[in-house]
């Protein structure tokens, strides 16, 4: 259920009936003031009368009252009041809210209907470079991309995960040369156990060792020429690298599977075909030996088109060529309606060029959306890009281990009586949840500061806070000795706190729709945090199990509690974060 959408439809109809042109549609928004405190302002506000009145040359307050006259309030709206110069404050009906909650309590999906028009959505995320060290930027892409994948899937869309791994390119020359030496000495397995170390060793040899660079270059030529021995070596390296990534995905509770890997190498055969086609059609031209697409669509201030090289002077293909091939594949073979790129903001020019060139070449139907879900850089406490104390790249698996270790200490401190297994399990969920939530709760386009203390805090907008809120709600049921399924009586919203909580609960679907549309997961985090806080206020004000609470009221309040727990659990699950029964 999406309250904002339901209200928008109602107001759109009322405006049409009041003789207002269709394109002066209403703008419905949640009231900014917390409804519990200032019920007078209403729960939602409809704007639009003022803009329409200006266009029609009439009085805005009069127009607003005409809209209200034509409004079909149905069971949903208690009253609609005109305020100020022509705002319309909307009060939702209590019985409607209560009935909506009862429906949510009965439904396995919290009354969230699947999307009316399911789409095929391709999500390009995680995509580490197997020839280089995996860095924290890939952590952000992995976490954000996975949350979007889960959420869109929950909404009923067909999500196709594409792990566009960097598994091809000149970098592999030095790695394969190094690997073949290791194989000769029978210590390849040991050497590949730690890919960062392996990469560094190869790089040192490439930089310092006589003749090694020539051998590396030979390997590149052989690899690109399809030499079977060389391909075998390459395949071995790729397999082990993918297993390393899978280990991280496992630790991170990320849904990516091996079958989602569709790396750059998959497009090899298409690259010469694609370049030739663009040359033949005059979309690309030869320029100083290279093949270039000049994009007038992205011209600079002086009017110079933006150049996008798709074949180098020596004949080599580039990252951009592969991306053009990938767009064509995703639109035509995967039949995507929407393609999301969860990629570092610093690649924004590259992606803009690829999108523009692909459209220019007609590689995809107009209707297919290409969206860059950009994210900023992860910073250390010192405000510089996140590095180890010695300035090296932070190994992702070490970072995740540290998260769990730190969580374990905290959990053991808080609850010294836990047995070791339970403590370890809680620590895993809390530690990993904290890392993921810290990332997801920030506006993704901004840089963000990685801080252990902030993310592991039990107060504020953090995973531990929400996980803890969940356990507290669940403990009420343990104390009451009641299963949520046994609750029967009607939901009643007797107090302002219950009403405020009811509205928040009913807004879950609206929030999911917004995140699906705008791809900003922090909106969901902010909602869950707000829901948990609203619940705390309710819990203070409204006794649930206390003696003397009438049975019907107790049952009603327990249902509210259950809805809070389920909404938090579902919301966190969509973010890829687990809940626990105690902590
Ligand atoms: N592997 C690339 C990197 O680490 C990111 C790939 C992003 N996806 C894409 N289709 N270009 O920088």
Closest residue by Cα to residue 402 from 453, 442, 441 = 453
HEC string of 469-487?
HHHHHHHHHHHHCCCHHHC
How far apart are the C-alpha atoms of 341 and 164, rounded to whole Å?
A: 10
| Nearest ligand 1 atom to alpha carbon 132 | 4
Residues 553-578 pLDDT 10s = 999 999 999 999 999 999 999 999 99
Tell me the backbone φ, ψ of residue 214, rounded to 5 degrees. Answer: -65, -40
Could you tell me if the CB of 264 is within 6 A of ligand 1? Answer: no
* Alpha carbon of 150 to ligand 1 centroid (Å): 21
Q: Output the residue whose Cα is nearest ligand 1's atom 8.
A: 164
Residues 372-415 pLDDT 10s = 999 999 998 888 888 777 777 777 888 999 999 999 999 999 88
Token pair 């705002």 in the structure block, residue:
87
Of 265, 345, 347, best ligand 1 pocket probe by most atoms within 8 Å of the beta carbon: 347
Asked if 542 and 557 count as a contact pair (C-beta separation under 8 A), the reply is yes
Q: Output the residue whose Cα is nearest ligand 1's atom 6.
A: 127
* Alpha carbon of 196 to ligand 1 centroid (Å): 19
| Cβ-based burial of 418 (10 A; exposed 0-12, middle 13-18, buried ≥19) | middle
Question: Helices marked H in 108-194 — which ranges?
Answer: 136-154, 172-184, 188-193
* Alpha carbon of 166 to ligand 1 centroid (Å): 7
Asked if 350 and 164 count as a contact pair (C-beta separation under 8 A), the reply is no
What is the pLDDT tens value at each position of the chain, 583 positions in all? Answer: 999 999 999 999 999 998 888 888 889 999 875 545 555 678 999 988 888 888 888 888 999 999 999 999 999 999 999 988 888 999 999 999 999 999 999 988 999 999 999 999 999 999 999 877 667 778 999 999 999 999 999 999 999 999 999 999 888 999 999 988 888 887 777 777 777 788 889 999 999 999 999 999 999 989 988 899 999 989 989 998 899 899 999 999 999 999 999 999 999 999 999 999 999 999 999 999 999 999 999 999 999 999 999 999 988 899 999 999 999 999 999 999 999 999 999 999 999 999 999 999 999 999 999 999 999 999 988 888 887 777 777 778 889 999 999 999 999 998 899 999 999 999 999 999 999 999 999 999 999 899 999 999 999 999 999 999 999 999 999 999 999 888 888 899 999 999 999 999 999 999 999 999 999 999 999 999 999 999 999 999 999 999 999 999 999 999 999 999 999 999 999 999 999 998 8
Could you tell me if the CB of 135 is within 6 A of ligand 1? Answer: no
Could you tell me if the CB of 130 is within 6 A of ligand 1? Answer: no
| Cβ-based burial of 321 (10 A; exposed 0-12, middle 13-18, buried ≥19) | buried
Closest residue by Cα to residue 291 from 276, 306, 273 = 276
Token pair 């790396």 in the structure block, residue:
263
How far apart are the C-alpha atoms of 209 and 344, rounded to whole Å?
A: 34
Length of the chain: 583
By three-state DSSP, how is residue 548 classified?
Answer: coil
* Alpha carbon of 355 to ligand 1 centroid (Å): 14
How far apart are the C-alpha atoms of 348 and 378, rounded to whole Å?
A: 17
* Alpha carbon of 341 to ligand 1 centroid (Å): 9
Of 343, 358, 370, best ligand 1 pocket probe by most atoms within 8 Å of the beta carbon: 343
The interaxial angle of helices 228-252 and 136-154, nearest 10 deg, is 70
Could you tell me if the CB of 343 is within 6 A of ligand 1? Answer: yes
Look up residue 551 and give its two tokens.
């049975």
Could you tell me if the CB of 127 is within 6 A of ligand 1? Answer: yes
Q: Taken in order 462, 466, 469, 474, is the CA torsion positive or negative?
A: negative
Residues 446, 451, 453, 459, Cα dihedral to 10°: 10
Of 127, 140, 327, best ligand 1 pocket probe by most atoms within 8 Å of the beta carbon: 127
64-93 per-residue burial string, b: 16 or more CB within 10 A, e: under 16: bbbbbebbebeebbbebebeeebbbbbbbe
């Amino acid at each position: 259920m999406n309250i904002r959408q339901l209200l928008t439809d109602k107001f759109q109809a009322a405006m049409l009936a009041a003789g207002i042109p269709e394109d002066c549609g209403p703008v419905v928004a949640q009231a900014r003031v917390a409804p519990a405190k200032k019920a007078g302002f209403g729960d939602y506000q409809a704007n639009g009368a003022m803009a329409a009145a200006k266009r029609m040359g009439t009085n805005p307050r009069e127009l607003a009252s005409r809209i209200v006259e034509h409004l079909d309030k149905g069971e949903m709206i208690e009253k609609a009041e005109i305020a100020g110069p022509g705002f319309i404050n909307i009060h939702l009906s209590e019985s409607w809210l209560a009935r909506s909650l009862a429906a949510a309590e009965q439904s396995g999906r919290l009354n969230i209907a699947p999307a009316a028009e399911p789409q095929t959505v391709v999500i390009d995320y995680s995509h580490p470079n197997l020839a280089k060290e995996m860095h924290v930027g890939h952590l952000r892409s992995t976490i954000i991309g996975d949350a979007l994948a889960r959420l869109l899937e929950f909404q009923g869309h067909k999500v196709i995960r594409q792990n566009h791994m960097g598994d091809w390119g000149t970098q592999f020359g030095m790695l394969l040369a190094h690997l073949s030496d290791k194989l000769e000495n029978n210590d390849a397995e040991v050497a590949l156990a730690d890919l960062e170390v392996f990469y560094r060793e190869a790089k040192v040899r490439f930089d310092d060792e006589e003749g090694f660079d020539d051998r590396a270059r030979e390997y590149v030529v052989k690899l690109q020429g399809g030499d079977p021995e060389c391909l075998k070596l390459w395949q071995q390296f790729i397999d082990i690298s993918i297993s390393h990534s899978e280990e991280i995905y496992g630790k991170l509770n990320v849904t990516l599977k091996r079958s989602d890997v569709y790396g750059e190498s998959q497009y090899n055969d298409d690259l010469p075909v694609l370049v030739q086609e663009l040359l033949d059609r005059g979309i690309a031209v030869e320029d100083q030996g290279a093949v270039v697409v000049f994009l007038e669509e992205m011209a600079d201030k002086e009017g110079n088109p933006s150049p996008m090289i798709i074949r180098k002077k020596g004949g080599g293909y580039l990252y951009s060529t592969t991306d053009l091939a990938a767009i064509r594949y995703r639109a035509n073979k995967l039949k995507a309606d929407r393609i999301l790129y969860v990629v570092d903001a610093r690649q924004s020019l590259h992606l803009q060029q690829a999108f523009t060139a692909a459209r220019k070449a007609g590689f995809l139907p107009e209707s297919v959306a290409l969206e860059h879900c950009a994210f900023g850089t992860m910073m250390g406490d010192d405000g510089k890009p996140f590095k180890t104390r010695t300035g090296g790249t932070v190994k992702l698996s070490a970072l995740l281990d540290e998260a769990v270790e730190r969580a374990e200490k905290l959990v053991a401190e808080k609850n010294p009586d836990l047995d070791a297994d339970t403590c370890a399990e809680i620590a895993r969920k809390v530690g990993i949840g904290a890392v993921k939530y810290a990332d997801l709760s920030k506006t993704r386009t901004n840089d963000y500061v990685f801080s252990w203390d902030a993310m592991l805090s039990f107060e504020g907008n953090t995973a531990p806070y929400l996980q803890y809120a969940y356990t507290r709600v669940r403990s009420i049921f343990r104390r009451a000795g009641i299963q949520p399924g046994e609750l029967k009586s009607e939901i009643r919203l007797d107090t302002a706190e219950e009403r405020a909580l009811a509205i928040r609960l009913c807004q879950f679907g609206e929030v999911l729709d917004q995140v699906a549309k705008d791809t900003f997961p922090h909106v969901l985090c902010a909602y869950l945090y707000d829901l948990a806080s609203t619940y705390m206020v309710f819990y203070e004000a409204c006794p649930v199990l206390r003696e003397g609470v009438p049975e019907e009221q107790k049952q009603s309040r327990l249902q509210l509690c259950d809805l809070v727990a389920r909404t938090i659990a579902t919301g966190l699950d969509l973010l890829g974060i687990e809940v626990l029964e105690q902590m």
